[in-house]
Amino acid sequence: MSDTRSALDLANAIARREITAEAVVRQAVEAALSDPFCAFTRVFASEAVASAQAVDRGEMSGPLAGVPFAVKDLFDVAGQVTTAGAKLRLGAAAATQDAEVVRRVKAAGAVLIGTLNMDEFAYGFATVNTHFGTTLNPHDPSRLAGGSSGGSAAAVAAGFVPLSLGSDTNGSVRVPASLCGVWGMRPAQGAVPLDGVFPFVEALDTVGPFARSSRDLRRLYEVLAGEALTGGNQPLRIARLDGFFARNAAPEAVSAVDTLMAHLGGSAVAELPQAEAGRSAGFVMTAALGGALHLDTLRARAQDYDPAVRDRLIAGAMLPAAVLDKALRYRDHYRRIFYQLFDQFDVLVAPATPCSAPLIEAGTILIDGKPAPARAHLGIYAQAISLTGVPVIAAPLKTDGLPIGLQIITRPGLEGAVFDLMHRLEDEGVLGFTAPGGRA
């Protein structure tokens, strides 16, 4: 049974003793155990119920007391093996302590109920996992949920949990948030600790929250970052990103940007010079650094990898050092170009994905008019932003059709003001979650 109440509403109802934490958590556990979407990889039923009972006894408190949450299976959970979506890690030693972000969410009173599916080693935009199954989109199980944090997005969209954690290196929060129609965030680089998170490309890795409302997302982000956000009364200068971010965009992606800008009454357009080169540099960094991280294991156990992931890692490991060095040097140049846009604008709007969720069976999307693997290309617009290190909110357009999301891009320090804007747009019905089947 799904429950689409917000995390803050649940926390308030539990605090007022209108409902018990145990009842809320038991419902979440039962939903996770009968999950038809392959979102969960493990469910901690007895531990979760025990924690909920502790909340009801007043032994656990905090702003999220009694609220269930789940985490992508690359966050350390004390006593559990962190698989990172890989069969070859099933025999690894169990984590001795929680990842720092897991510890923070638990310290806020939330109750961990399980781990969530992902692309193996977070390398992909589809959550097609040879070992643990393909995560299905709750809006249409014949379609992809996105990745690599697909289980995190699907579990929230399906109403199993109101909050989840994922990671975003090159779009792994923004892509599944868009395809599953939930809120997500890639924080500014370094804003949220990575201690106890299985690495992919540490120069680009971030921890990202998922939620069904912008206010829930904000509260979870504040818990992760360890500080409350403050807004501001200043008007925000907003522009849409054009050029690279309009090319390859399907009609629904273009329409999403059009709808938001029309509602805001804005017509400003910005173009990011060298966006395609920025995406390419991030692609090279990901391939080369990810390949180097796995090189020793690939030599010993290549046959135990997902073949698609293995081949991409091997190709990355074979890139000449000079190519990686050029990409690393270009990153600094690209960031300077990008930050020049903030001289004119405070917020930049772009599609989060080039299209809504493609069919699993098809496995491709159109790039430059030709079919290309969805697993590698659903993140083309997200990748072009990742290299900058700036904060990005993935905001779902309110729609009756398949979900589609937007990237709301800003500079560090303006997160509070941008969240204020998101709350207003959600209240006005332009942005927001719609449950599968249009229930709420």
The reply to whether 232 falls in a domain is no
Both 258 and 170 in one domain: the answer is no
Q: Average pLDDT of 109-114?
A: 99
The reply to whether 440 falls in a domain is no
**Residue 93 CA to chain centroid, in angstroms?**
27
Q: Are 170 and 379 in contact (CB under 8 A)?
A: yes
State the pLDDT at residue 440: 46
**pLDDT 10s digits, 5-61:** 999 999 999 999 999 999 999 999 999 999 999 999 999 999 999 999 999 999 999
Q: Tell the residue number behind the tokens 């890690």, with chain if given.
A: 89
- Tokens encoding 221: 């982000």
Q: Which domain holds residue 200?
A: 7-225
Percent of the chain with pLDDT over 70: 99
Both 189 and 74 in one domain: the answer is yes
State the pLDDT at residue 438: 65
| Res 436 pLDDT > 90 | yes
Q: H helices within 126-184, ranges in order?
A: 150-157, 174-180
Domains held by the chain: number: 2
Which residues are within 8 A (CB) of 343 and not within 5 positions of it... i.e. 6 or more apart? none
Please give the positions annotated as active site: 72, 148, 172
Residue 408, helix vs strand vs coil: strand
State the pLDDT at residue 231: 87
Secondary structure E strands in 87-131: 111-116, 128-129
Q: Which of 168, 164, 162 is nearest to 187 (CA)?
A: 168
**pLDDT 10s digits, 140-166:** 999 999 999 999 999 999 999 999 999
Both 220 and 258 in one domain: the answer is no
pTM above 0.95, yes or no: yes
**pLDDT 10s digits, 66-106:** 999 999 999 999 999 999 999 999 999 999 999 999 999 99
pLDDT-based confidence at 210, cuts 50/70/90? very high
d(CA 292, CA 308) in angstroms, rounded, equals 17
Report the chain's C-alpha Rg in angstroms: 20
Both 221 and 288 in one domain: the answer is no
**pLDDT 10s digits, 222-251:** 999 999 999 877 899 999 999 999 999 999
Domain boundary, last residue among 225, 260, 289: 225
Domain boundary, last residue among 198, 225, 252: 225
pLDDT-based confidence at 1, cuts 50/70/90? low
